[in-house]
Amino acid sequence: MSSVQLLVGTRKGAFVLTADGKREKWDVSGPHFAGWEIYHVKGSPADPNRLYASQSSGWFGQVVQRSNDGGKTWEPVGNKFTYDGNPGTHKWYDGTQHPWEFKRVWHLEPSLKDPDTVYAGVEDAAIFRSTDGGQNWHELPGLRGAKGNLWQPGAGGMCLHTILLDPQHENRMYIAISAAGAFRSDDGGSTFRPINKGLKSPYELPDPTAEVGHCVHRIALHPSKPDVLYMQKHWDVMRSDNSGDLWTEVSGNLPTDFGFPIDVHAHEPETIYVVPITSDSLHYPPEGKLRVYRSKSGGNEWEALTKGLPQSDCYVNVLRDAMAVDSLDECGIYFGTTGGQVYGSRDAGDNWAPIVRDLPGVLSVEVQTLP
Amino acid sequence: MIRVILPAHLRTLTKVSGEVAVDIAGVPTFASVLNALEAKYPVLRGTIRDHLTQERRPFLRFFACQEDYSLEPPETLLPKAVANGEEPLLIVGAMAGG
């Protein structure tokens, strides 16, 4: 029977939640790396026993951990992230130029084919690649060449938080950076270009349709239709049908189109999920009701999914990397909250139940569907 | 032999308990202790001082013989009691929070 493993990064360690294919009873292991912020844990699609974890601390900096046995044991690998050449400067909060400074790894994206190749999205925004299982990291500086001098951090820092590898076009990847926007490479990461046409940010940017500077919170794609992209922007839920060349708004009837995560059903490329959050100054669900919204039409028409989720006095947030789907026949969907709950649905969002309720604040959730 | 007490999280990272000890060839300075520590425990590279600049991370401090040496240049000689192993060098994480 298949099984499911959730890899949960929190403010105080990593947790691994496992269940068989019924997804009724869950075992919890952890905290791994207790006391450290675990921004992200992700398994290799090519070898599910190979996991990578980003472990960081305001005191001790960045550590990257690797597991070769599905998370039972871990070993630290390379943590030296040096920008290529003289990185120059980017725009600072006050509009002056500021040196590029490595702070932490937000996201680790293993290659689709090679367990030893993994990408890291870091703050200050850049993408690094390792081809030796995380021992050595090399920047792909072409990304900063895409007008990096104009990027300016948002309140959460200038983080590269999303890396999507296109399963049908080997050399294509998408990345997203808070307060800089979305970018695409068609040459394996040598060069990138902004893909922000159609985005409008009238409250954040002097030029609402600027080529860069949009606060993209998350982008997602379905492997069977990788030219269709979905985006949760600071405000606005967006869709592109041409690999990001042009975006259109699909917020439709959402109660608010501010939020962080967005994800796609494992088997239905037009079924997408978001978690509306009240506003940029009120990072909790509207009316204290935790609702996932689902669209089965690729956007615009949304339904609230509430069964099993708290519908009063709930004031948690769901962060951008904290939602994931499994690929069992009946798609499971999971998300973690800043209040330490991890909720799961075994039926594509119709019904929800807490898997754990009292973890530290959840930073990220990933799923492995295991044979 | 130089005795060093690491903060708890770095003891976990290095998988040691209690004090660690390093041997130094040549002049015993703060920099040479850190070099020896990182050679013996490579996982510490980047966690006490920056990979590139070799500067002390902002929220760590160095104490020895009840004195704060955090702001001294890295080539500062260790106090005699630390150099001869009578006293440990303490690497301390700043207390923060509220």
Over residues A99-143, the pLDDT tens digits come to 999 999 999 999 999 999 999 999 999 999 999 999 999 999 999
Residue B73 lies in a domain: yes
Asked whether residue B98 is assigned to any structural domain, the reply reads no
Residues 6+ apart with CB under 8 A from A44: A50, A51, A52, A110, A111, A115, A118
The residue segments making up the domain with residue B88 are 2-93
pLDDT at A347 over 70: yes
**Is A1 a residue whose pLDDT tops 80?**
no
Q: What sign does the CA torsion over A101, A105, A111, A112 have?
A: negative
CB-CB under 8 Å, A79 with B60? no
How confident is residue B96, by pLDDT bands cut at 50, 70 and 90?
A: low
What integer is the mean pLDDT of A229-234? 98
Mutate to test the interface with A, among B51, B53, B56 (most CBs of A within 10 A): B51
Residues contacting residue A49 through CB under 8 Å, at least 6 positions apart: A43, A67, A68, A69, A70
Tell me which chain A residues have a C-beta less than 8 angstroms from the C-beta of B49. none
CB A317 within 8 A of CB A277: yes
pLDDT at residue A37 in the model:
97
Asked if the C-beta of B80 comes within 8 angstroms of chain A's C-beta atoms, the answer is no
Neighbours of A168 (CB within 10 A): 10
pLDDT exceeding 70 applies to what percent of chain A? 100
CATH number at residue B29: 3.10.20.30
Distance (Å, whole) CA A327 – CA A358? 26
pLDDT tier at A191 (50, 70, 90 boundaries)? very high
> Amino acid identity of A229?
L
The mean pLDDT of B77-87, rounded to a whole number, is 96
pLDDT at A158: 95
pLDDT single digits (tens) A123-134:
999 999 999 999
Among A59, A63, A82, beta carbon nearest to B93: A59
**pLDDT tens per residue, range A12-32:** 999 999 999 999 999 999 999
pLDDT band at B98 (very low <50, low <70, confident <90, very high): low
Counted across chains A and B, CB pairs separated by less than 8 A come out at: 44
Rounded average pLDDT over A276-289 = 97
Q: A304-343 burial string, b = 16+ CB within 10 Å, else e?
A: bbbeebbeeebebbbbbbbbbbbebeebbbbbbbbbbbbb
User: For residue A38, what pLDDT is reported?
Assistant: 98
| Closest to A66 measured CA to CA, from A33, A27, A113, A36 | A33
Residues A353 and A24: beta-carbon distance below 8 Å: no
* Per-residue model confidence (pLDDT) at position A18: 97
Answer whether residue B43 shows pLDDT above 70. Answer: yes
| The residue type at B5 | I
pLDDT of B97 reads 59
| CA–CA distance, A227 with A364 (Å, rounded to integer) | 25
Distance CA A243, CA A230 (A): 10
Give CA separation, A6 vs A20, A280, A365, B24, in Å: 12, 29, 7, 45
- How far apart (Å, rounded) are the C-alpha atoms in residues A167 and A184? 14
Residue B84 lies in a domain: yes
Q: What is the mean pLDDT of chain B?
A: 94
* CB within 8 Å: B9 and A82: no
pLDDT over 60 (residue A5):
yes
Q: Which residues of B touch A63 (CB under 8 A)?
A: 13, 43, 46-47
Q: Determine the residue type at A133.
A: G
Q: Which pLDDT score, from 0 to 100, does residue A203 have?
A: 85
**Residue at B67 is within a domain:** yes
- Per residue in A329-338, pLDDT (tens digit) is 999 999 999 9
* Lowest mean pLDDT across A76-85, A199-208, A252-261: A199-208
- Is residue A56 within 8 A of residue A39, CB to CB? The reply is yes
Average pLDDT over residues B32-59: 96
User: In the block, which residue shows the tokens 């630290």?
Assistant: A76
- The answer to whether residue B78 sits within a structural domain is yes
Question: Residue A120: its pLDDT value, please?
Answer: 98
C-alpha to C-alpha distance for A175 and A182, rounded to whole angstroms: 6
Query: Across all residues in chain A, what is the average pLDDT?
Result: 97
Tally the domains of chain B: 1
ipTM of the complex: 0.94
The DSSP bridge pattern shows strands B2-5 and B89-93 to be parallel
Helix (H, G, I), strand (E, B), or coil: what is residue A238?
A: strand
Which pLDDT value is given to residue B78?
Answer: 96
Nearest to A82 among B12, B45, B51 (CB): B51
pLDDT level of residue A183 (50, 70, 90 thresholds)? very high
Q: B26 falls in which pLDDT band (50, 70, 90)? A: confident
Cβ atoms of A177 and A148 closer than 8 Å: no
Is residue B16, in this structure, part of any structural domain at all? yes
The answer to whether the CB of A27 falls within 8 A of the CB of A19 is yes
pTM of the model: 0.96
Q: How far is A13 from chain B (nearest CA, A)?
A: 12
Q: Is A343 in contact with A335 (CB distance < 8 Å)? A: yes
